[in-house]
Amino acid sequence: MNSLYTYLFIAILLFTLGIVAVFLRRSLIGMLIGIELMLNAANINFMAFNRYLAPDPLIGQIYTVFIMGIAAAEAAIALSIIIAVFHRFHSINVEQARELRG
Amino acid sequence: MNTLQDLVHPHLIAQVGFAFVVILCFAGALIAVLPRNILHNVLGLILCLTGVAGLFLYLGSPFIALMELLIYVGAICISMVFAIMLSRPLHLSLPARRPVKLVLALAVGAGIFIMLSALVFRTGWHPAATRAADWSIAGLGGYLLTRYELVFEVISLLLLVAILGAIIITGHIGRRPNE
């Protein structure tokens, strides 16, 4: 039950759900949620390889911490862009925001 | 004397816990993706990330599990809730989702799922020949200050730039003339 393949399969399912969210949702926050799900799938992969394969089990944890830091930066920037888009178009629907002007 | 360990095998408890964590994770992910109400999406994301933190516990790293709860649930999801306050009012009815789009999105997801599954299950994964047994947080801190110091500093710089960028992007709104 607790094998490498179990964790890799869980990560694949989470990644697929994230892809579906990015393609399906029209609201920008829904797409951001999809991106977070994909990043978490990557984290699970790193931790699983770290647990079952890696020569030094500290390095995978360090990479996971780095990915979390990058995800935090990405979420901060994405949310501020979403707020700017909302003030400009009065909607966070991507189909409303299709003109690219300064 | 009957203790809990005599009544229930510890492996059974571990397996039930693992199943619970996995179900939490996928129920949360489904709630995060499918419903139209965006507040339900974020609450589902919180549920899913809690499940992922439980998975990290099962992978042997309580430190990463706590970091997951702190950064994702505590910071990212809460800031999303703040952003939702700017979203469209939740009581308005939304336009219907087109079935074509649902089918296409599920098709893309199924394609990627099949491709990645084939990739994972056809690869023979071999563990490294020699494996160190050091899982301690002290060792983690040692690596962060020696071997991965440059990456650590670059990530700090990245976070600083992201904070400044977020302030500038959102602070720019008020000063722009109305149109």
**pLDDT tens, A38-52?**
999 999 999 999 988
**What average pLDDT does this structure show over B159-169?**
92
Inter-chain residue contact B131 with A16, CB threshold 8 Å: no
Average pLDDT score, chain B? 86
Please indicate whether, in this complex, the C-beta atoms of B60 and A51 are within 8 angstroms of each other. yes
- The whole-number pLDDT of residue A100 equals 65
pLDDT at residue number B56: 93
Contact between chains at B169 and A84 (C-beta distance less than 8 A): yes
A34, part of any domain: yes
- B106's CB contacts (< 8 A; 6+ apart) are A20
| pLDDT value of residue B176 | 53
Residue from the list A29, A81, A93 with its beta carbon closest to the beta carbon of B84? A29
User: Is the minimum CB–CB distance between A89 and chain B shorter than 8 Å?
Assistant: no
Residues 59-88 of A with CB under 8 A from B: 59, 61-62, 64-66, 68-77, 79-84, 86-87
Q: If pLDDT is split at 50, 70 and 90, which confidence band does B179 have? A: very low
Q: What percent of chain B has pLDDT over 90?
A: 49
3-state secondary structure chain B: CCCHHHHCCHHHHHHHHHHHHHHHHHHHHHHHHCCCCHHHHHHHHHHHHHHHHHHHHHCCCHHHHHHHHHHHHHHHHHHHHHHHCCCCCCCCCCCCCCHHHHHHHHHHHHHHHHHHHHHHHHCCCCCCCCCCCCCCHHHHHHHHHCCCHHHHHHHHHHHHHHHHHHHHHHHHHHHCCCC
Structural domain range at position A61: 4-89
For the domain that residue A8 is a member of, what is the CATH number? 1.10.287.3510
Q: What is the interface size between A and B, counted as CB pairs within 8 Å? A: 217
Tell me whether residue A99 is in a domain: no
How many structural domains comprise chain A? 1
pLDDT tens by residue, A22-75 = 998 888 888 999 999 999 999 999 999 998 888 888 888 999 999 999 999 999
Query: Can you tell me the distance from the alpha carbon of B44 to that of B34, in angstroms, rounded to the nearest whole number?
Result: 10
Q: Does pLDDT of A89 surpass 80?
A: no
How far apart (Å, rounded) are the C-alpha atoms in residues B101 and A30?
15
* CA-based nearest distance B1→chain A, Å: 31
C-alpha B87/C-alpha A91 separation (Å) is 7
Q: What sign has the CA pseudo-torsion B46, B144, A67, B153?
A: positive
Q: Indicate the CATH number of B1-89 among 3.10.129.10, 2.60.40.10, 2.30.40.10, 1.20.120.1200.
A: 1.20.120.1200
- ipTM value: 0.90
Q: Which of B58, B64, B113 sits opposite A61 (nearest CB)?
A: B64
pLDDT one-digit tens code per residue, B38-51: 889 999 999 999 99
Q: Which pLDDT score, from 0 to 100, does residue B177 have?
A: 52
Q: Determine, yes or no, domain membership for A38.
A: yes
Residue A15 lies in a domain: yes
Q: How do residues B25-41 score in pLDDT, each as one tens digit?
A: 999 999 999 888 888 99
Task: Check: CB of residue B72 under 8 Å from CB of residue B49.
Answer: yes
Which of A16, A27, A70 is the closest to B158 by Cβ? A70
- Chain A partners within 8 Å of B59 (Cβ): 7, 47-48, 50-51
Each residue of B78-132: pLDDT tens digit?
999 888 886 666 555 566 778 888 899 999 999 999 999 999 989 888 888 888 8
Task: Report pLDDT for A66.
Answer: 93
Could you state, in order of their start, the residue ranges of all structural domains in chain B? 1-89, 142-179
CA quadruple B27, B99, A11, B79: dihedral positive or negative? negative
Nearest to A23 by CA among B112, B14, B133: B112
A96 touches chain B (CB under 8 A): no
For position B57, what pLDDT does the model report? 92
Contact B49 A47 (CB under 8 A): no
Please enumerate in sequence order all residues whose Cβ is within 8 A of that of B16, keeping only pairs 6 or more positions apart, or say none: none
Query: CB distance A91–B88 less than 8 Å?
Result: yes
Mean pLDDT, range B9-18, rounded to an integer: 88
CB atoms within 10 A of CB B82: 10
Give me the residue from A59, A76, A83 closest to B86, CB to CB: A83
